[in-house]
Amino acid sequence: MKKVLFATTALVATAGVAAADVTFGGYGRFGIIYNDTAAGDSTDVTSRFRLQIDATAESDAGVTFGARARIQQNNTDNAGSPAGTGINGVRFFARSGGLEVGVGNIFGALEFMPGMYPIDLGLTGLGYDYTAYNFRGDAYSSGGNGAAGSNGVEVMYSAGDLSVHVSASDTSDRIAAHVAYTFSGWTVALGAQDSDNAADTEFAASVGGSIGPANITLAYADNGTAGDHIVLAGRFDVGAATNVEVYVADADMGSDTGYGVDFNHDLGGGTSIRGGVAKRLNGDTRADLGVRFNF
């Protein structure tokens, strides 16, 4: 991630503020994606460019105020993938020590909960069936306003190995929270949500840590009328520059057991070759292969 430090009269209001800090970073990816569904199969080009902008300033009292925004563009690589154009809804925050308050396009307590993204399968995520809460709660939106369009607010606190995250928005009057604790290399997290939407997640739990050379995560969510969703996922190195990720998922909303495997080979300098294949919970098969470069 590249950093640009501005210290000009346009950004520094008083002598008591040293500078404003603006950071630019993100990634690009491109490759091919294969989809096999009941309606037929197709092979297409997939691509994404994401530019993330983080801006902060610190008060005399040591409180950091900041904002995050993204500019993202996808091609139409698969159904449900937003095109993403222009700038998204902004997340604003104030942070002091281990306490942070965010408003606008919030992260969301369930989305940000440890264990909900145990791996990053292939080039594109291949459907994200390994995300137990199944996106049934508030989350930071790269291609839209997210909770910024519905008065999203969240409070995050961490002290040593303990972290707590509470979020709320006008979307279905959601109120969600998680608490996580790390001990002996293992992280245990519990989350819950109250919502007017019967299909939203009600409870979630995860545990993750290392067993020998593998990082293992077991996650579970009660997704309301959508039913239970459980995931076992792992990541392990197979060489100095290559790792493999695997998962198996079972959900009441799915007609099949889901599973997938991928590889990620580091080319150095923030570049990598990635690819994978997944048998989706809905019975579809999806595979991808391509290159990602971080900047």
Span 2-294: which CATH code? 2.40.160.10
Question: What average pLDDT is seen over the chain?
Answer: 91
Query: Position of tokens 């570049």?
Result: 271
Query: Position of tokens 């019975």?
Result: 283
Please give the share of the chain, as a percent, with pLDDT higher than 70: 90
pLDDT at 14 over 80: no
CA 168, CA 140: separation in Å to the nearest integer?
Answer: 13
Which residue pairs from 242-248 have beta carbons closer than 8 angstroms and sit at least 24 positions apart in sequence? Answer: 242/266, 245/119, 245/120, 245/121, 245/276, 246/119, 247/118, 247/119, 247/121, 247/129, 247/130
Q: Where are the beta strands (DSSP E) in the chain?
A: 2-6, 20-37, 40-58, 64-74, 91-96, 99-104, 153-159, 162-168, 175-183, 186-194, 203-211, 214-222, 228-237, 242-251, 258-268, 271-279, 285-294
Helix (H, G, I), strand (E, B) or coil at 225: helix
**Do residues 119 and 244 make contact, with C-beta atoms less than 8 angstroms apart?**
no
More confident residue, 251 or 78: 251
Convert the pLDDT of each residue in 25-65 to its tens digit. 999 999 999 999 999 999 999 999 999 999 999 999 999 99
Q: What is the pLDDT of residue 145?
A: 85
Convert the pLDDT of each residue in 172-216 to its tens digit. 999 999 999 999 999 999 999 999 999 999 999 999 999 999 999
Convert the pLDDT of each residue in 115-171 to its tens digit. 999 999 999 999 999 999 999 999 999 988 887 788 899 999 999 999 999 999 999
CA 217, CA 213: separation in Å to the nearest integer?
Answer: 13
For the chain, domain boundaries: 2-294
Q: Which of 76, 130, 126, 49 has the alpha carbon at shortest distance from 289?
A: 126
CA 138, CA 273: separation in Å to the nearest integer?
Answer: 31
Confidence class for position 84, pLDDT limits 50, 70, 90: low
